[in-house]
Chains A and B, each alone.
Chain A
Amino acid sequence: MTLQREKRQYSWGMVVDVDKCTGCQACVLACQAENNVPLNLQDRFERARAMSWIRVERYWEGEFPDIKARFIPIMCQHCENAPCEPVCPVFATYHNNEGLNVQVYNRCVGTRYCANGCPYIVRFFNYWEPVWPEAFRNHLNPDVTVRSRGIMEKCSFCIQRIRRGVRNAERENRNVVDGEIQTACTQACPTDALVFGNFNDEDSKVSKMRKDDRHYTLLPHLATDPNVVYLAKIDPDRSAGASHG
């Protein structure tokens, strides 16, 4: 039985400081490599079937010439009240007791209902069997399942890394230390815009960052209660505040 957020040992989450994001796409690339995400060839984009577990959305603000590019990285928000979870008929996606919205590939039958339920559009369906060029075969991450066609997939907060970190800590009879576990995207982020950690650890970096005045979540009116918290862009021209969502 899943515990409430406060009673969990770990409650994984991420804080995204939008102010620091430069839109460099390093996180996207790192994620693609870490999680065996299939290559997005031209036809995948043309048919609007491209997959990227994390994406950097770009918005234009203002009118030319007074125009600014805004970036916001979006990945699975690992909502506490995730709309995608209860609709799955086979429990292929559910909430585990570390606060993660997990996807169980073996159970998935590919109804794609979860994807319809997700307001952030971060769930992906394998329309085809994934193929990699011969040269790429040996680059696949052995810790991560290669998904077959016909199932859903999405950001897992690099669950393979979390599992290894927790296992190591348990072996040494201690709690996971803050910063010990890094997801591929946080590791790759050159500006530290993405920070991963345990929300239940009062001293963790994410817990401290979350107390910032600039914090907000995406689509708050849907009351999904995400585990990804954003910190708003600091705009010298305007007072800080939630500009997205």
Chain B
Amino acid sequence: MATIERRSPVAFPVRAVRSTKIGHWTVVQQYTNEGEGPWLIDLSHHPRWDLQDADIRRCKPFPVNVPVDPGTCTLDRGLLVNRMNRTQCSIWHLLGDTPQPPADPVCTETTDATALMALAGGKVFAITEKLTNLDLTDPGPKPPFLLQGPFCHVACQLVIAQRRDLDGTLLLACSRGYGQDMAHAILQAGEEFDLRPAGEDQWRNLLKQIQNERSERF
């Protein structure tokens, strides 16, 4: 009998060591030979929403604040809220659980609209500069911040979550249909830096780091 499964648009050409079930998703915790980084991590199973309203600052579908300026982000209790323009935010749930979807009609669930990946570790921005002419190392904005623009020719949302010189963590969301080719292009560009696919465990560690770093700063 056909099983009910949710599938990511991204499949890595490596063997999984350990996986868990989250809802109908099979999430790989760890792949073989993940190496020391940089890593490419598929986060497509993390729930995401689109929030739009003429007066967006008044919206509170989640108990977190909407960032004030377009291009800025807030990361609070595992929810990353990215201000896209005057009336719109994307919201990415980055923890491992499944939160209750908001009932507010200003929210649209968009988990399946995009592929979401994290590119993290050493020399991450040496990899990205091979794929985009967007300036991800601009010292101006402080992470986390959002850039919307072409990455490997495809319109993407890029969140620079943390950054130290060429090292750091980048979250990338592109149209789901492009997910497979995008992952392939990134892996190919990262070959010279020993970029390898990694699982959710690695992501947990990274998220902890990012959150600690942020609490230190504030």
- Mutual binders A and B: no
